[in-house]
Structures are given as C-alpha cells and as structure tokens.
Structure 1
C-alpha cells in the first residue's frame, strides 16, 4: 500500500493559505499549482474569494486560490521577472493583507531577484519572498519556516505584553477537522483564564499575527510544526514556549497532561479545564461499559499508526494504557520531533513492543489502522485492516457536520466512536 507524504512546499503554501487574509503566489508552471489550489480551497475555504475573482482572469485561470505565474520554457531561459511584475498588482488589488511569493522547485533554479522586483514595484509593505527551497523538507518543516518568515517580515515593534495571553502554535489547516480542534483547545485555554491572541496558519489574520508578539506564552500543540517559530518568538520577543512531554493532546489523559503542563509553567488554575475534559471522559466510560457488557473489545486488538511523532506518542500511549490495545506497526512521518520520538521508543520498550517502531503498515495486518484518510480507506477496502481511522488529510471527507478532530476531548470522542462502531 503506497502512501505519499506531503513535502515542505505543500507545508509552506498551506501555512500561508491558512491565514485568512494572506495569499501565496506560486512562481512556477501551472502543473505545480493545481493540487495546492485544490487543497487550499478544501481546508480553508474563503467564500468571499469565489465572488471577488473572475475565474477567467489571467494568473487565476479558473481557480480562485494560489495564483500562479505559469512559467513556460521561454521563462526558464530568459527569466520570470516580467510575469512576476505583472502578477503582483493583480493580486494586490484583491486587498489581501499579505502576499507571499514562493518559487516552484524548477523556478528556484532561475535565480531571479524576486526581492528586487518587489522593491522596484513599491510593494515592500505588502509582499515578501520565501527564498529557501522547502521541497526536500518535511511538510511540517515547510509550514514552520513559512510562519517564521511571515512573523520575521512583519517585525512588530515596541511590544507591550498583554496579561494572560497565549499564542496557540503548531496547529494547521492540514490537521483533521482543524476548526473544531482549534475551538476545543481555545476553550480549554479560556477556562484557564487565558486569551488566545493568534493561531498562526490556522484561521489567523495578519493583524492577529502582528499582535502575537504581545503574548506572554506560546503553547505548542505539535512541535514539528512550530519549533523554529517558537525559537524566533523566544529570541526576539522573549516569549517562552510550552511543550507537553506527552505529545499532542490526544486522548483524555494526554489532554489533561497538556493542561497540567500549561498550569505548571504559567501558574494558571487548571480546575475548570479539567472539569470540562472529565465531563467527556465520564460519558466515554459509561458508553464503553455498555459496549463491554457483551465483549472484551477493544482490549487485545492490534493497531498500526502512520503519523507525526507527537501524534504517534500520545495516541500510542492512550491506546495501550487506556484501551489495552497492542501496536504492531508505527510508521513516523518525516520531520520528527526527537524528544517525542525518544519518549515513544521508551513507551514501546517498557511495554514489550520494541520491534514495532518505524515498521511499515504494509508489513503487518493490524486490526485497526490510524493514518491519513486515503491510507486508512485503501487499507480497509483492501482487507489489510478491519477498521481504518482517518486522523489526518489527505482525505475524501470534505465537510464535517459533526466534530471530527483528533485533539482535545472532542477528539477523544471521535476516535472512540470510530474504534467502537467499527467492530
């Protein structure tokens, strides 16, 4: 079963398109654009943009997201300067608060001075360039680099801290049902007395990103997507970062540990947030008891995971300790956060599963697979697993009428629903 991991170019583009009033310009051929435009429209739709863009307009050509210079063979010989100069005013007219230009892998070899084009056109207050080639990096690293670049370009000055304020980092529009995940985690932080100033790359505005330098703390959901950004905040704006050793807030215990870690670092009262999580936990326990009146499942069931290290750690711990399940294959996505990967190794070694880490899902036939929606669906349909649980894009599930995040208490309920009702 072949599964393709998204690369750093995808991550960089989705980080910008995850901002509600920023647009990325892809300097490259049209073939490099279509997939990214499709993803942006699915994962962070902007209804107003459908009305504001003539679908036949030059550089948009029938799609309202990720305008592109449409380089051809002549441009690779003579340069892309003319097309970049032409596209910038058209995109600026759409009243985006920020425009980010990024080269396709081929265009990066041309060597055009894109910064010079922006300065000559007097667009320095609206546009920036991501020069670093992110194609060969993991999606998480490309995402992190793009967010860091945007903050660095905004360069907020004369910062006065807002009391009890937080930035929520490391959540992206490429997370499963990211809107409900963001809502749930923000609510937990609000219950602890915090105001969330920004969620960079996840439904955040440019003004919110500019104000993010006023935060007292950065709370990181997944460090793979935020470690360099967090380092910039700490070095430039003296904002300390909080990372939970349990990994991402997946499962009731990891979510409570996430709350405890924030409380320990900030002195905030965690009691109301605990009560909120435990309300869901009591409901889950009651339903599990009803289900287990007739079976011992899911205890003893085997599982496999394909995910980022912070997700794999928290999910594995919850499935092993809370549900009594046994891992047979855990495949870590590129761009791992080493401390979480080491914690995962220790967890598996201590429970007698030292041989399952970095083992491909193709090698074993687990009862339940937790992976991106396409992999989970293909393995279930092919009979390579009994239950395939969608925990991340890409997926064919486009509209979430009910919550389907994997983070926070609602994420725990979604995962339990998929596991129990899959038998």
Structure 2
C-alpha cells in the first residue's frame, strides 16, 4: 500500500519551508491538521512553543497553517466572510510572505481570493494559490510552488557574483534535510563557493531576493527543483548543474558531484576531495578491521524505494563499494527521467534488471531503504532485518545530533547502520 503525500501537501510544505513565510489554508480543518503539525515538528519557529499567541480563531492553538475551517454552508454561499476575518489575524503575526492555498474542495467554490487580498491591503506580501496540483506527486507540487513564489516575489535583478550558488531540491519532507544541507554547504565552502539560498529549504525571503546574485544553481534533487532551475535560467540567465551520478550519496557519487560542481563553477575541487578522502580512509580502516573480526557484508541484500536522484547513487554505491545485492529497486512518483535511465542502464550492465520495480515483499532481504511505514511492516512481518527511513513520515524519533545522508559524513553514517545490522544477519 502506497501512502505518499501528494502535490497539495508539497505546496503547503514548500511555503512553510521558507523561514519567514506562512501558508493559510482555505478549507476544512481535516485538510490542515497533518501538514500543520508536520511543519511545526520538522521546521519549528521561535514562537512555536508560545501557544497563547495562537489561541485566536483559525489557528486552533497551533502555530502553523491557519485555516478558514469551511463548513457546508460555505461551499454554497462562499467563503468571503471567513477570508476577511482570517487575513488580518494572520497579517499581525509579522511574516514577510503569506500564501492562501485552496483545499481541493475550496478550489471549486470560485471565490476571488486576489480581490480579498487587495481589500485587506495584503496583496503586496500575500499571493493566492487557487489550485494546487492535487493529483500530482509531492515533489512536483513542491517544485511548482517554489517556482511560482519566486516569480511572484519579482526577485531583484542583481549582478551575478562568480563564487555564489543556490542549492535546489531540498525539502523538510526529506529525512535529515537540515543535516544534508549543512554537509553540502560545507563541501561548497571547501571549494570556495558561497551558498546564497536554499529555496524551500529554510531560506528566508531576503535570501530568496538575493538568490539572483548566484552564478550557478546546484540542483541536488531534480525531482523537487527542475521547474525552479528553469525559472532562474529563463528569467535571470543563471545556469544549473546536476551531477550525472545523482545526489552525493556514498563516496563515489560524492566525488563525481564535487568534480561536476567544480567544473561548472570554475573552482578548485582539491580541498573538498581531500576532505572526502579523509572520510574514505577512516572507513577503509574500519572496514579492514571489521572484515577480520566479524565478516564482510558482501552478498547482503537490500531493497530501496525513494526519490530517483537518491535511489540511483545509493544503489550503485552499495553494490560497487560493499558488494551488496539489490532485490527490489523502486522510485517514487515524480521521478527524474535522466536518473531513471541511468539507474536502468546500471542494473542492466550488472544483469540486475529483474530487481527494477520488483515488489519488496516478494523475497526476504536484510535492509530496506524507504518510507517508515513500509519499513516497519517489512520488519514486523520478518521480511527484512532493519529499515532506514528516507522521508519524514513518522514523528516519534528525537535526534540531538545533526545527521546526514549526503557527502562523506553521510557515507560514514550509512556504514554505521549497515554494519550494525549485518552483524545480526
């Protein structure tokens, strides 16, 4: 059973992923509860714990995504009165950017939201999203919304600076998203690059306005950022680059990513490669010791289901670096065509095509990489030993250290988990 969020949730979390922005849902309360809790849990604001500040109508004691709580009469008579009531309350919170998002049902009413915004004198910092991509994948809705917000903001046309870049394709929906960003920023700094903004990944409106000074956009996850990258290129002439090996997952793909970025920006990759080599040497020493003491994971099996830009490098790295065998390789909806083609060619070359889009529940295996709900089901039914969550789907985990899947640090964390699991196979 697939329980992936859709483009509507992608729209809401794209807005909430901007540090000083707020989504306002025009719809019933049932559509609002999960994304409101989710955004507060995975990207909390300074005022999140001050519940008294959100006891007014429409907030329901939660700090995120106020809602007009439409009822049956509103679907007949329209939601004008509730929109007029909620907008001043939201405006008083001091956010730099607001977006009113229609729920699927509210989009059928046909109220002129832009007129309400103008009447409330909010049309200078609030946009209307009257129809989110409800039936599309999460990543598509996220990408479409970020591109629409950047276009609405009318970004400043500033001179481009050679060593400045933007990071595209990060969302709070991705597991360890803040640690992933921190690791990529560290690699960029080692190459002499300055990250201006991460649209939808924690940057504020001021940083988005300054993002046009970047000389290049680094597209980490194209599923979440293809339209955003195309917007920057068409409107401001900022080129974008994607690593042919996908996101920097594992040592080999990270090395390819570093060299690709260095070539595209004209920077020296040596310091970043030296950092990666240090992590790789540490891993080699541990691998050598573990091989003699407890056995090597060669031949251990795994299944993966995730974003194509993550699945491709993870699969290649686990197979080539550790000798692990994939039994099921699946990409979530909204996949990037180039990544999927590269993945299929890789599997075909090693005569592993049979595992592409295979059902993870058909054969037992050791490790599952994917969503937590499927992972727990596979664990409890005895079809896998352990699962690694790639998305923020459950909220019961608490971490006091910043973790990452990407770069050299991410590779070491993955090795920690893999070897700890294989020990009990």
TM range (shorter): over 0.9
Matches within 5 A, 1:68-79: 68-79=67-78
- Name the counterpart of 1:37: 36
Tell me the equivalent position of 1:185. 184
How far apart, in 1, do the equivalents of 2:41 and 2:363 lie? 32
CA–CA separation in structure 2 for the residues paired with 1:292 and 1:377: 29
Task: Check whether the contact 2:104–2:131 (CA below 8 A) recurs between aligned residues.
Answer: no
Q: What 5-or-longer segments of structure 1 have no aligned partner?
A: none
SS of equivalent residue, structure 2 residue 211: helix
* Mapped partners of 1:352, 1:301: distance in 2: 17
Task: Spell out, residue by residue over 1:36-78, the C-alpha distance to the aligned partner (whole angstroms, 9 max, x if none).
Answer: 1111011101132432753421000121111101000001001
User: Match of 1:12?
Assistant: 11
- Is 1:286 the counterpart of 2:285? The answer is yes
In the TM superposition, what whole-angstrom CA distance separates every residue of 1:359-394 from its partner, at most 9, and x where no partner exists?
A: 221223222111123322332232120121122221
- Partners of 1:22 and 1:99 within 8 A in 2: yes
- Per the alignment, residue 51 of structure 1 pairs with 50
What is the deviation of 1:214?
1.4
Contact 1:164 1:195 in 2 (8 A): yes
2:175 is aligned with 1:176: yes
The Cα of 1:295 is off from its aligned counterpart by 4.3
Q: Is 2:249–2:411's contact at 8 Å kept on the other side of the alignment?
A: yes
Partner of 1:111, secondary structure, is coil
CA distance, structure 1, for counterparts of residue 159 and residue 390 of structure 2: 39
Give the conservation status (yes or no) of the 8 Å contact 1:252–1:408: yes
Quote how far apart the aligned CAs of 1:296 are.
4.0
Measure, in 2, the Cα distance between the counterparts of 1:397 and 1:251.
27
Distance 2:396 2:171 in 1: 17
How far apart, CA to CA, are the structure 1 residues paired with 2:40 and 2:300?
37
Report the counterpart of residue 310 of structure 2 in structure 1. 311
d(CA) in 1 for partners of 2:53, 2:25? 18
Mapping of residues 145-224 of structure 1, within 5 Å: 145-224=144-223
Query: Shift of the alpha carbon at 1:18?
Result: 1.0
Q: Which residue of 2 aligns with 1:328?
A: 327
Contact 1:177 1:400 in 2 (8 A): no
Distance 1:155-1:46 versus aligned 2 partners, 3 A rule: same
What is aligned with 2:26?
27
Please name the residue that 1:114 is paired with: 113
TM-score, normalised relative to structure 2:
0.96
TM-score (norm. length: structure 1): 0.97
Which deviates further from its counterpart, 91-100 or 154-163?
Answer: 154-163
Contact 2:223 2:334 in 1 (8 A): yes
Q: 2 CA distance for matches of 1:422 and 1:172?
A: 28
Q: CA deviation at 1:337?
A: 0.3
Q: Cα 1:323–1:397, aligned 2, differ >3 Å: closer, same or farther? A: farther
SS in 2 for 1:24: strand
When structure 1 is superposed on structure 2, of 405-414 and 49-58 the one drifting more is 49-58
Contact 1:259 1:273 in 2 (8 A): yes
SS in 2 for 1:184: helix
SS of the counterpart of 1:293? helix
CA distances 1:106-142 after superposition (whole Å, capped 9, x unpaired): 1111111111211222211110012333111111011
Whole-Å separation in 1 of the counterparts to 2:22 and 2:49: 14
Root-mean-square deviation over aligned CA pairs: 1.4
In structure 2, distance between residues paired with 1:271 and 1:397: 40
Match of 2:237 in 1: 238
SS in 2 for 1:70: coil
C-alpha separation in 2, matches of 1:11 and 1:302: 32
Query: SS in structure 2 opposite 1:50?
Result: coil
Superposition deviation, residue 397 in structure 1: 4.7
Does 1:60 find its partner at 2:59? yes
- The answer for the alignment partner of 1:99 in structure 2 is 98
1:88 matched to 2:72? The reply is: no
The structural deviation recorded for 1:297 is 2.8
Aligned counterparts of 2:361 and 2:54: Cα–Cα separation in 1 = 42
Task: Show the counterpart of 2:339.
Answer: 340
CA distance in 1, matches of 2:81, 2:201: 33
1:161 and 1:373 map into 2 onto residues whose CA distance is: 42
CA distance in 1, matches of 2:2, 2:34: 16
The residue aligned with 2:265 is 266
CA contact (8 A) 2:11 2:132 kept: no
How far did residue 356 of structure 1 move? 1.1
